[in-house]
Structure 1
């Protein structure tokens, strides 16, 4: 039997955080699940999840409920329980160093100050974690929050214009996951990163 895939969206649980920048991982994974008629309504090991078959692959959709900084504890439990190889793990998360809506796929690397990724790397003992980074930008003069601390900024909501960008770019995440499941992280990086730069 083929090894399962684990798709993880990062965010914070609860209505208070539902539409904040830090929860873009939750938003994108829930969007993916809806497209696949998969309801993320089961609870296990500090996470909300569902299982679905996409083509020939068994795929797990996971939203850790530990709060962002402790995401690794939940992810590690799912990796161990379902025997997920690290190359079959894909994490979707926000990135303040990318402009709002810019998407970048990476196969490994440091956390770049992202506490959720730092926690996952610590619990898995590896930085070779495939990721889809979804840009949420930094505080700017244009947004009127240029002096807002980053930790407060990522817990703020998107403007209407930013939300439109998010909605428009969601299709790139959908395509990235499809390529990852069919071809792996290498082709996913090549195809998606080239496309994202042009758009």
Structure 2
């Protein structure tokens, strides 16, 4: 049977845009998802950059790249599931992460409870996650900076395990800036994928499901 092709009418275009099948962004930007780390080649694949690694996984899942420099961060807008989000990797270095995230939250009028932060946790083994609705900085300088800028501890976070120090006498800065072993990298990759999936659940309002499914 011969196929009949027809031109797309204006109503067809409206339906495509409404359904989201045209590949555009839809709705108001309502969430910020920020992964923490340090910029620069020397810090790539270090423990302290677990947040950056997660953001790269999430961006890959969304079919986008963090290629815009805005708010002192590598950014892009993306549909995470059906939610329009700003994805961020602050380029301010870890201790000033709040400068970038606070500026973006102010610009888009995003409340703290809709700012999801993803970062490294040295109390968890590689491959483990911990999701919380809020909490203290727990000694993490990036989170201290964000709390100072947002004026509250009440923002959700995903903590990605990067491994405990092999000896308590080990220098903390040296440890978090060290690179993962091959064995640790193998354990970490599924955690990055799970963290990206958890972010999807959280922005659509299913943080309880994310905690039940992915908390170690």
Give runs of aligned pairs for residues 15-164 of structure 1, distance below 5 A. Answer: 15-140=41-166, 147-164=169-186
The structure 2 residue matched to 1:170, chosen from 176, 192, 204, is 192
Structure 1 residue 100, shift from structure 2 partner:
2.1
d(CA) in 1 for partners of 2:176 and 2:93? Answer: 14
1:180 match: 202
d(CA) in 2 for partners of 1:34 and 1:105? Answer: 21
Structure index of larger Rg: 2
User: What's the C-alpha RMSD, in Å, of the aligned pairs?
Assistant: 1.5
Q: Report if the CA contact (8 A) 2:129-2:158 is conserved.
A: yes
d(CA) in 2 for partners of 1:184 and 1:84? Answer: 18
Tell me the number of residue pairs that the alignment of Structure 1 and Structure 2 aligns. Answer: 190
d(CA) in 1 for partners of 2:204 and 2:150? Answer: 24
Normalization by structure 1: what TM-score? 0.90
Structure 2 segments unaligned to the other structure (5+ residues): 1-26
